[in-house]
Amino acid sequence: MLEATDLMVFYENMLALNNISITCKKNRITGVFGANSAGKSTLMYSLSGIMLDIQKKEKMAGGERITLYGQLTLEGRDIMTMKPSDRARAGIVLCPERRRLFSESSVMENLRIGGYLATKSQARASLEFVMALFPALVRLQKRLAGFLSGGEQQMVAIGRALMAQPKVLLLDEPLMGLSPLMQATLIKAVKKIQEESDISIIVAEQYARPVFPIVDYAYILENGAAVMEGTRDELMNNPDVKSAYFGMS
């Protein structure tokens, strides 16, 4: 279980995360929904530890001061100051916004890079899992990642994250810019990851509608604060959520 308590992030004096507490239970899909600039990526960077790298780089460059407060635990262990590489080793793996693949490398090379922390047998099993999850990648495995469609690239990005043996998989806006059909394919795949592994998943998205059917629990972010949270059914039956996030009254 990954648990963040009273997480706060400041970019200089700007409060980007305001006292956020979220829990991602084992083998659950947790949704984080919010408009542009609500703080989704800041939250994902804080959970994965990349925020510590960004903070360090900014400090070295004499740039803005980034401050983090709060507690973060993975299976009860304090990881608030743990480096991102150690967090990845501990099982927190981020599939970042805009995919960030190695575009000059092939699909297979991208997947294998993801497996650098895995043993040979883990890598073999994960690769088999990824290819079963995304059969389209089988015939694309020698293709350069930069030449794939957005949806295919997202499959590779999720595949690469799975190769890193996650316990908690962080998906930052995996549906961004994709067609409704491709969105549905990816959502089905995310559900399948939950069904066929014991991975916990946090998925951040601007639009709740396509993701909502698969989440167990969700948080709604506004201006860096979690303004609402609940199980899928609780949120679905909340009239404010319905009108604001689903356009239904």
Site of interaction with ligand ATP (CB under 6 A): 11, 14, 16, 34, 36-42, 64, 97, 206
Tell me the β-bridge partners of 230.
218
- For ligand ATP, the closer of residues 38 and 203 by Cβ is 38
Query: For the chain, how are helix, strand and coil distributed in percent, rounded to 5?
Result: 45, 25, 30
Q: Cα Rg for the chain, rounded, in angstroms? A: 18
Considering the complex, what minimum distance in angstroms separates the CB of residue 167 from ligand ATP? 23
Q: How many CA atoms lie within 13 A of 159 on its CB side?
A: 30
Considering the complex, what minimum distance in angstroms separates the CB of residue 203 from ligand ATP? 13
Considering the complex, what minimum distance in angstroms separates the CB of residue 227 from ligand ATP? 13
**Residue 91: count of CB within 10 angstroms of its CB:** 18
- For ligand ATP, the closer of residues 140 and 204 by Cβ is 204
- For ligand ATP, the closer of residues 40 and 160 by Cβ is 40
Rounded (5°) CA angle 217-215-127: 125
Residue 93 contacts residue 169 (beta carbons within 8 Å): yes
Considering the complex, what minimum distance in angstroms separates the CB of residue 175 from ligand ATP? 12
- For ligand ATP, the closer of residues 112 and 209 by Cβ is 209
Considering the complex, what minimum distance in angstroms separates the CB of residue 209 from ligand ATP? 16
**b/e burial code for range 230-243 (CB count within 10 A of at least 16 → b):** eebeebbeeeebee
- The sign one gets for the Cα dihedral 22, 28, 31, 32 is positive
- For ligand ATP, the closer of residues 130 and 186 by Cβ is 186
Using the structure block, give the residue that is written with the tokens 């635990």: 73
Considering the complex, what minimum distance in angstroms separates the CB of residue 179 from ligand ATP? 19
- For ligand ATP, the closer of residues 18 and 200 by Cβ is 18
Considering the complex, what minimum distance in angstroms separates the CB of residue 35 from ligand ATP? 7
The DSSP letter of residue 148 is S
User: Which strands sit side by side in the sheet containing 29-33, from one edge to the other?
Assistant: 92-95, 168-172, 200-205, 29-33, 217-222, 225-231
- Residue 221's Cβ-count burial label (10 Å; 0-12, 13-18, 19+) is buried
- For ligand ATP, the closer of residues 97 and 109 by Cβ is 97
